[in-house]
Structures are given as C-alpha cells and as structure tokens.
Amino acid sequence: MGEHEQSLQDELKQIIRQLHEDENAEAARKRFSKLFGKIAPEEIAALEQSLMEEGMPAEEIQRLCTVHVDVFAKSISAGKKGGKQPGHPIHTFKLENRTARHLLKRLARAVKKAGKKNSSEEGALAATLFGEFRQIEKHWQRKENQLFPKLEATGFTGPSRVMWGKHDEMRDILRTCQARIDAADWPGLAREFGPLPGAVKKMIFMEEHILFPTSLRRLSDEDWIQIRREESEIGYAWITPADTLHGQQVTQGKAEPAFDSAGIHLGEGVLSPERIDLMLRNLPFDISYVDENDVVLYYSAGRERIFPRTPAVIGRSVQNCHPPKSQHVVREILDAFREKRKSVAEFWITVQGRFVHIRYFALYDDAGAYKGVIEVTQDLTTIRTLDGEKRLLDWQA
C-alpha cells in the first residue's frame, strides 16, 4: 500500500474513532464527504477489523456499527457483481431478504393494530405472522455457521465478531416478543417489537452493501459450492433454492473437510484415533456399543463410571452382561430394534442415592440395515435440580 492510500485509511480510521467517541454523525459525514468520494464495500468491514486488531473492543464496534454505516451509506460504491445465479448462496440470501422486508411490513402493521386495540383477534394474526417471520433465524444461522467460517479462513474475522453480536441483539428482541405473545400481552408486544424493524433493515443493508460484495470478492467458486452443499443442515427461511451451482449438482452428499488431516474421516470432520478415544473417555456419560450380532465391541472408560466395566466384557454377548432375570427383556429390546418396531428404549433408576437415566438407541446404516445399539447411561441427579437460566456470558473463572 502506498503512502497516499495509507494516509487515506488513517483518515478514515480517525473519522470512525471520532464517531465512536462522540456519535456526532453529521460532523463525521461532512468530514468524510470532504476527504473521500466513493468507498468500496469491503473497506468498511476491513477498517472495522483493523480497529479491532488495534485494540478497539468488538462490542464497541458492534454498538455503533449501524451508526457509521448510516454515515457512509451514500458513499458506498457498487460492490462486485455476482451471486445472481439461482442456487448461489448469495442469491438465496437476497431472496430471503426480499421476503423478510415484505413480511416485516405486514407484521409491523399487525403488531401495531393488536397493541392499539388490545384485541385477541388482531393478536392472533400478529402471532401467526411473528411465527412466520422467526424463520429469519435460519438466515442468520447460515451466515454464522457457513459464510463466516469461510471468511475467517481468508483472515477476515470482522463480520463474525460484529454481525453475530447484532444477530444476538435481534434474537433477544424476538425472545422478548415471543414472551409477550405467549402472555397475550398485545400492548407489551407492540412496545417490545418497536426496535426490531429498524434493526432488521440495517442488517439487510449491511449484508447487501458490505458483507455480500466482500464475500464474493474473497471466496472462490469451490467455497460457494461447499457452502451450498452444506446449507440443508440448517435450512432456509421461506424459499427453496435451485439444486445446481456452477453446473454441479449440490444437494447430494457432503463436502470433504476443508483441510487435510492424517486421521479417520468421519461424517463431519477428521479425527485421529487418539482424539476419538480422548473425546469418548471424557463424555459426561457412559456409552457402550453392541454390534448387530449382540456382541459388545466397546465401552467408554471414563473417570467416574456408574456401573463397573472391565475389558473382559469386550466380545461378550450383551445378554450375558445382565442378570438372568432381565436377560429376556434385553433380547426383546434387541429384537424390536432389529425388526424396526422400536428405535429407543429408556429407563431410570436410583443407584446409591443418584438418579440414573439409561437409554438404548438402535443404529442403522444409510441403507437401513441394523448395525447394533449404543447404550447411554447418565447421572442426572444434579441436572434435575437446575432452574432458571445460566448463559455463557454468566460464566466466571
């Protein structure tokens, strides 16, 4: 980067810093207009990331990001064209945004009427539209779990650190509104709903003018194909996209891991045998695997076992691992699994004052063939006493 370009970036950073310090949007807009003409969409996000790397908290940028997007809105130039092909993830995101705008207008009118009239009839319509609108969370989830990881792999972490926080702010509004709907508190719904339309519109603007153009520039066709293949894991808001992209069928199968690892390729991801063993031995419950011939193949030797096990159980008939009086029940369960009359069996007992939950799950391969059963045994004594909420942000070292 030349000295002139660096100087312009420094000036832009100063404008954003000043904006964050005193929130004088009009002054920032005038200063920006005097120094700059048009700004590329990705420069806004790149500058946010640069400020975070220099020490500005992501929460602070999150708090005011919609303000400085407003400041620069008229100066954002057209981004990279693309993503117009049906089936392309960006095309899908934009279709969802179009539906979100339309549905949001209808929902806002219904909520206003329900609150003004305090009417159950109007409230029922608002509740129905609200339930429909909440599908937008799938839109956000695909960004968080598919688009953001791909951008992070290019070294671009700003969107995931800022936009995800804005998603959570809107999720909080949705949860609060849902509580009002559940209580049939229509004036309360209208009050809590107030900030949502503006927040959603600002997010759509940031997506379509900053995030999407930046993503189109940074990600390859292969990245987009992999994203498209994995989208069905989360699902869509309101629409069903085309099943091809760049001439490839993208709805069948799963993409290979984005990295090469000398390990076992599982359904999702790659793990070495050592890591698999470490994971299984540290699960907060005991598991055992019994094959299609009713032979015990594995048990997890965790630190705190509920029932005793020794390696001698491996290779043993599972019926013989139970007292004679219950062996016939074990056979009945396995027969029901094998014949697909049942796929789960569960029991709960008290062991030395502890509440123990025991579940059996039938296993079938992709062709539907019976492949055995896993037994999961868990001490639920403490879990049963939990009440209220303890969120991730409540954790203390």
In a domain, 263, yes or no: no
**Spatial CB neighbours of 168, under 8 Å, sequence gap ≥ 6:** none
Residue 233 and residue 112 in one domain:
yes
Kind and range of the H or E run holding 265: strand 264-265
Domain match, 241 and 112 both: yes
> Which range, 61-65, 247-251, 335-339, has the best average confidence (pLDDT)?
335-339
**pLDDT 10s digits, 27-57:** 766 666 665 555 665 666 666 667 667 766 6
At 321 the pLDDT is 83
Range of the domain at 105: 89-249
236 is a domain residue: yes
What was the pLDDT predicted at 210?
A: 82
CB atoms within 10 A of CB 39: 16
Q: Is the pLDDT of residue 63 over 70?
A: no
CATH code of 308's domain: 3.30.450.20
Same domain, 61 and 161: no
Tell whether 260 is covered by a domain: no
> In sequence order, which residues have a C-beta less than 8 Å from that of residue 315 and are 6 or more positions away?
295, 296
Domain presence at residue 110:
yes
Which range has highest mean pLDDT (6-10, 15-19, 130-134, 266-270)? Answer: 130-134
Read off the pLDDT band of 311 (50, 70, 90): confident
Residue 80 covered by a domain: no
Q: How far apart are CA 389 and CA 393, in angstroms?
A: 11
pTM for the full predicted model? 0.69
Of the residues 15, 46, 75, the one at which a domain ends? 75
Is 364 found in the same domain as 279?
Answer: yes
Q: How many domains does the chain have?
A: 3
Specify whether 156 is located in the same domain as 102: yes
Residues 49 and 144 in one domain: no
Is the distance from CB of 286 to CB of 298 less than 8 angstroms? no
| 353 lies in the same domain as 243 | no
If asked whether residues 98 and 244 sit together in one domain, one would say: yes
Q: What is the mean pLDDT of the chain?
A: 84
Same-domain check for residues 178 and 116: yes
Determine what percent of the chain is predicted with pLDDT higher than 90.
51
Q: Which two tokens stand for residue 211?
A: 């995030």
Which of 14, 42, 75 is where one domain is finished?
A: 75
Chain centre distance of CA 108: 26
